[in-house]
Every structure is written in C-alpha cells, then in structure tokens.
Amino acid sequence: MSDGGVMNTETFLCRAADVPDGGALKIERAGRPPLAVFNVGGRFFVTDDTCTHGEASLSEGEIDADECVVECPWHSGAFDLATGKPCGAPCTIALKIHAFECRDGALYLLG
C-alpha cells in the first residue's frame, strides 16, 4: 500500500496473547534496536526497549497500570507509555513510541 508515493510497510511483532496483561515483551530485530511491547489492561503500546538514561531494558521494568507508565529497572526513572514523555527522574529524554496495528490477534509494526 502506498500513500503519496511512500511505501507503507508492516512487520509482524508478536501475537497479542504473548504479552501478558500488566507485562511486556522484548522484541529483538536484526540490525535494529530492540522494541518493547506493553500490555496495560488490554491496551498495547510499542516503544524502544532501551531506556534513554541508560542501557536498561524497559521490558524488564515495573509497569504502573493506573498511571500507564513503565519504570526503568536500573534507576527508577519512568516513561508515559502513551506519549513516551519522561515522568520520573533521572530520565529527561523522551522514549520513542512506535506506530502499530493490532489485527487478528497479532501486533504489526507500521512504517
């Protein structure tokens, strides 16, 4: 599919059932930084997996479902999963959020 001459692509990430409610799944990608898929009460979010403050894997962090944030396992910095904005020191640089689609029980990275 194309839009304005730009080719749209999608890449299979995982099955929705592979990401437990209140949990995360790290997605390794050949030659690219890993992604994290989060499931918060049946709402999914796809972000870079690496904390912007250090080299910690955010898929190993604590998820606060009420606030919809993930806390870095190294320094307790936190990020809003919907916007990527840092919401807890020492993190000051936003986390990259990725566009995706959930279709037929699977998540696909768009772009």
Q: What is the pTM of this model?
A: 0.91
**Cβ-proximal residues to 23 (8 Å cutoff; 6+ apart), any chain:** 38, 39, 63
The mean per-residue pLDDT over the stretch 7-31 comes to 94
Is 2 a residue whose pLDDT tops 50? no
Assigned token pair, 81: 């999963």
CA distance 90 to 9: 35
Task: Give the CATH number, domain containing residue 69.
Answer: 2.102.10.10
The mean per-residue pLDDT over the stretch 82-95 comes to 95
Is 51 a residue whose pLDDT tops 50? yes
Please give the tally of structural domains in the chain: 1
| Per-residue pLDDT tens digits for 59-75 | 999 999 999 999 999 99
Whole-number pLDDT of residue 88: 85
Q: Is residue 44 a contact partner of residue 100, using CB atoms and an 8 Å limit?
A: yes
Cis peptide leading into residue 33 (ω within 30°): no
Range of the domain at 67: 2-110
